[in-house]
Amino acid sequence: MAARKKTDVIQLSKIRMREALRAKLARDAEKKGITLNAEIVDRLEQSYEKAVRDAAIIDMLVKHNDVGSGLLRDIADEIAKHPDWSDSETARKDLMAWLYIAAHGKEPPEEPRPGEEL
């Protein structure tokens, strides 16, 4: 069998997803006047373009420092996993503790009680 070219269009079968997701994709495709297949392919292509763009921005922010870019990616991922981080004091403290551990590699010191010094 000959090797596929990058421009070849192939058919995938047996893709599995929740019905709720398929319905959302189908609804969005209908609004745009495109097929469900075209909607899925467009979203996949956009995700790769966004990833490349985001990586370039992060690399510029940290001047191509691998450690710094890794830390920024980890911070962004953690915030994305917990979009409700600003909804409560507990959620904010949990995020701050995670950030401290990510930056220092150890648990943050306990907060002093009122009247105590660090």
pLDDT, tens digit, 9 for 90 and up, residues 57-81: 888 888 877 778 888 888 888 888 8
Q: Are residues 56 and 69 in the same domain?
A: no
Q: Are residues 25 and 40 in the same domain?
A: yes
**pTM of the predicted protein model:** 0.52
Q: Are residues 38 and 69 in the same domain?
A: no
Q: Are residues 68 and 103 in the same domain?
A: yes
pLDDT in tens, 92-113: 888 888 888 888 888 888 776 6
Residue 118 to residue 5: CA distance in whole angstroms: 63
Q: Are residues 71 and 99 in the same domain?
A: yes
Percent of all residues in the chain with a pLDDT value above 90, rounded to a whole number: 26
**One-letter amino acid for residue 23 of the chain:** A
Among 3-17, 37-51, 61-75, 102-116, which stretch is predicted with the lowest mean pLDDT?
Answer: 102-116
Total count of domains within the chain: 2
Task: Confirm whether 5 is domain-assigned.
Answer: no
In order of 40, 41, 62, 72, 73, the CA distances from 67 in angstroms are 34, 33, 9, 9, 10
In terms of residue numbers, what domain contains 84?
64-107
